[in-house]
Amino acid sequence: MSGGGEGGAREALQRLLAAFDDAAYEALASRGLLRRARKDLTRLVPELLREDDQHVVLRVDDAEVSLPVGGPAQARCSCPSPRCCRHVLAACLFLSGAATDDAPQPRATLRDELAALDEAALAAALGRRAVEAGHALLAEHEARVELDGERGARVVFDDLFRDVRTFAGAGLDGMLPPRVDNETATLHAAAILRLREQLGLAAASDAGAAAAATAVAAPSGAPRDRGEVVGAAMTLLCSVVRAGLTHASRGIEQRLTTLAVSCQGVRLPRLGRALEIAARELRALRRREAQASERRLFDQLSRTYALCRALDGARRSDGPWPAALVGRARRRYVAVPRVDLVGLGATSWRTKSGYEGLTVYLFETNHQRVLTWVDARPQDLLDWTARDRYRQAGPYPGLDGGPQRLCRSRLTLFSARVAPGRLSGSASSHALVHGPADPRTIALGERCLRDFSALEQLTAQIAPAGLTFRDPHAEIVLVAPASFGACRFDKAEQRLDWSLRDAAGHELAVFIDYEPHRERSIEQLESIASDSALLARVRLILARLAVRVDGPRVKLCCEPLSLWLDAPELADLGHDLRLINLGLDDAAPAATTSSAARAPRSTPEGPSHDDEPDALDTPDDDETQPEEHISIDPRVAHLEDLLERIAERGIPTRGLAPQTERELATTATALASAGFTRLANATASISSAHSIPDRLLAARYVCQLHRQATLWSQAARG
């Protein structure tokens, strides 16, 4: 935009600023600064210092403001503020009020401006590379659009913790900051492309489709392509079933591990992770470990086989590989200039694969998401425990007190490195602590449970069906109970049971399964629950949601991680909440030896929590599936037992025994008569199939889908 001569810049700016309303100014700065600028104009009059065809320079109070014809987004001020300040806003308000045109100027809409801003114009302004990088960024990261009427919009990149605000009236110049580096150009190009798509101004371009395909494509020059790896995985999974689950050799376990490495080479992280888990389950079974389970191995093999079939179908289609099936590589961190955080709590954990770790939960206030910082080591590493790490220094410069203080603080992390749901412990980041955390002051929304009457609606995100991605962070909530029920340790189940009630009397079950490293957590919770005065001070409970099958009923319950208690004795220090991280902090000592301490020290069957660092980056199938224990139709249960018996024994070279074939046919007939058509068809196809292991795995996966559907149905009935 050009003014075209002396005074042209002022006239151009006046026409431009006439289209600005409060929402546009607030998008530039904030509502508070806008009020301050208006208040300043009641006591001072900006002084025009000079102008040309491109700039207008004014003195506002003690600052000098330079306003280019591109609009206030590119303005410069001599004050120390790095952002749009009150001086810039006051100058804009002054100029807009000095317009001499009596006729009202037409108010441009965002749609009108973006309609004229096609990819060619965007490439001319930002460069072709920035536009191509913008397409690639949209292919890898979801961009959420928030429209503000017809004149403003905000594009939010949740995974990157960045957002771009824009408004009508300033054209492309008003959509860009005054200084544009390569990263900023890419981000703004992606935002504008996403806005055009949202407003129906552009379909997916060839460049966008190519970028989407490239984002999930296999690397060039890999020794094996994706099709070969997926085919090899399907063949190997069938080989495990053909040999028999109880007869699988160490060689097959090693082949599963090797193939998992090959998956990383062709960028199939989700399949690689699934094969790693299958190898681990097979190793446990081969070594006859206490937690080994043929059923869990069979389920893992069938889920992995279903993933392979889905990937193979994507390979045969003309479109790009679906990102949800490909998965996301672990530990892909991006640089974020600033992240505002509030501590929620911390917990320690151990995995079945031999790792011990510490997780700190933090709430990111701008995008309202839970982030975690994780540190983990092998359990056999000398002189390292999660409880010791909790009290040590780090992870960030500027943070005194280490993780123990991180989970209790309200802070800003500069130069942060963020992966989906996770913070890196990079020493290049720097923490500025503002004070103690208070979860009551942040907008938790549905993450704060106060009404326990409709918890079953959350079942879908805790136990998603099929190959749907399960987000571990969706399970983290803050529970605000109104009252408390009994707390007791069930020696038969080796579990601590507790109940919470909301204001209407609805109950939420709380549990901690006994494991040696959780004994201290159980002791602390028993101690607090037995002290009525201390219990009355509990205000919030950081917990992990879980689905539990209790006989014929399905209940949504939670595992407590941390407790927030009233602490009036800390009021003089500027806060009145005390955080107790179970198993990590010291709580009131128990009056008597806890039930857990008196209980037998047996470890219940089933895997412990999966390795946290891996679980947060890829879909995780290593958790115990809640549908495993649900009551289902006896005919479906009989089919599951039959399929498991066949898989355990293996498939003879001559095929299934006649008696087994007759039992399959009888089961298929019974399922068909009961209306289980898909299960009946899957069962009938086993004995007649050329590849019996293939059909066996497919039928087992259909059984899992049936269990998940039953779980949802029973959860809906409560």
Q: Which of 89, 70, 79, 92 minimizes the C-alpha distance to 179?
A: 70
> Could you give the CA distance from residue 59 to residue 44 in angstroms, rounded to a whole number?
10
What are residue 163's phi and psi, to 5 degrees?
Answer: -145, 155
- Lookup: tokens for 361: 């939960």
Residues 6+ apart with CB under 8 A from 492: none
Predicted local distance difference test score (pLDDT) of residue 6: 46
> Could you give the CA distance from residue 51 to residue 5 in angstroms, rounded to a whole number?
10
Confidence of residue 342 (pLDDT cuts 50, 70, 90): very high
Residues 6+ apart with CB under 8 A from 521: 512, 560, 582, 583
- Lookup: tokens for 72: 């206030």
Q: Which of 344, 341, 358 minimizes the C-alpha distance to 562?
A: 344
Residues 6+ apart with CB under 8 A from 200: none
Q: What is the chain's Cα-based Rg?
A: 30
- Lookup: tokens for 69: 């014809």
Average pLDDT over residues 655-672: 91
Coil, strand or helix at 441: helix
> Could you give the CA distance from residue 29 to residue 85 in angstroms, rounded to a whole number?
7
pLDDT by residue (tens digit) across 492-522? 889 999 999 999 999 998 999 998 889 999 9
Confidence of residue 429 (pLDDT cuts 50, 70, 90): very high
Pair type for strands 369-378 and 422-423: parallel
Confidence of residue 188 (pLDDT cuts 50, 70, 90): confident
Q: What is the DSSP letter of 282?
A: H
Predicted local distance difference test score (pLDDT) of residue 697: 93
- Lookup: tokens for 609: 């929590």
Residues 6+ apart with CB under 8 A from 67: 9, 13, 55, 56, 57, 58, 75, 88, 91, 92, 95
Predicted local distance difference test score (pLDDT) of residue 187: 85
- Lookup: tokens for 412: 């800003």
Confidence of residue 10 (pLDDT cuts 50, 70, 90): confident
Predicted local distance difference test score (pLDDT) of residue 107: 54
- Is 532 in contact with 555 (CB distance < 8 Å)? no
pLDDT by residue (tens digit) across 460-477? 667 677 887 777 788 899
> Could you give the CA distance from residue 421 to residue 474 in angstroms, rounded to a whole number?
10
CA distances from 222 to 273, 325, 424 (A): 19, 20, 29
Residues 6+ apart with CB under 8 A from 532: none
Res. 445: pLDDT tops 90: no
Task: Determine if the pTM surpasses 0.75.
Answer: no
Q: What is the DSSP letter of 79?
A: S
> Could you give the CA distance from residue 141 to residue 629 in angstroms, rounded to a whole number?
36
Predicted local distance difference test score (pLDDT) of residue 3: 39
Query: Phi-psi category of 27—alpha, beta or left, where left has phi over 0 and alpha has psi -120 to 50?
Result: alpha
State the amino acid at position 695 in one-letter form: R
> Could you give the CA distance from residue 509 to residue 528 in angstroms, rounded to a whole number?
17
Task: Pick the most confident of 25-34, 214-223, 375-384, 493-502.
Answer: 493-502
Confidence of residue 257 (pLDDT cuts 50, 70, 90): very high
Confidence of residue 600 (pLDDT cuts 50, 70, 90): very low
In this structure, the dihedral spanned by the alpha carbons of residues 524, 530, 534 and 539, taken in order and rounded to 10 degrees, is 80
Q: Which residues pair with 580 in a beta bridge?
A: 563
Res. 591: pLDDT tops 60: no
- Lookup: tokens for 18: 């006439």
Predicted local distance difference test score (pLDDT) of residue 540: 94
Pair type for strands 76-77 and 63-68: antiparallel
Check the CA dihedral 354-360-361-365 and report its sign. Answer: negative
Q: Which H helix or E strand runs over 197?
A: helix 182-198
State the amino acid at position 302 in one-letter form: S
Average pLDDT over residues 568-578: 73
Q: How big is the chain, counted in residues?
A: 718
Question: pLDDT > 70: what percent of the chain?
Answer: 81
Predicted local distance difference test score (pLDDT) of residue 608: 35
Check the CA dihedral 87-93-96-97 and report its sign. Answer: negative
What are residue 375's phi and psi, to 5 degrees?
Answer: -135, 130
What are residue 688's phi and psi, to 5 degrees?
Answer: -95, -5
Residue that is written with structure tokens 């994507």 in the block: 314
65-102: string of b/e by CB count within 10 Å (b at 16+)? Answer: bbbbbbbbbbbebeeeeeebbbbbbbbbbbbbeebeee
The CB density around residue 297, as the number of other CB atoms within 10 Å, is 24
Coil, strand or helix at 653: coil
pLDDT by residue (tens digit) across 397-409? 999 889 999 999 9
Q: Which of 139, 163, 144, 186 minimizes the C-alpha distance to 328?
A: 139
> Could you give the CA distance from residue 219 to residue 26 in angstroms, rounded to a whole number?
45
Predicted local distance difference test score (pLDDT) of residue 105: 46
pLDDT by residue (tens digit) across 77-94? 988 887 788 898 888 888
> Could you give the CA distance from residue 91 to residue 48 in angstroms, rounded to a whole number?
10
What are residue 250's phi and psi, to 5 degrees?
Answer: -65, -30
| Residue with the larger pLDDT of the pair 635 and 25 | 635
Residues 6+ apart with CB under 8 A from 308: 230, 233, 234, 237, 271
Q: What is the DSSP letter of 326?
A: H
Confidence of residue 607 (pLDDT cuts 50, 70, 90): very low
Q: Which of 135, 131, 43, 136 minimizes the C-alpha distance to 86?
A: 43
The CB density around residue 652, as the number of other CB atoms within 10 Å, is 12
State the amino acid at position 256 in one-letter form: L
Q: Share the mean pLDDT of the chain.
A: 80
Average pLDDT over residues 576-602: 63
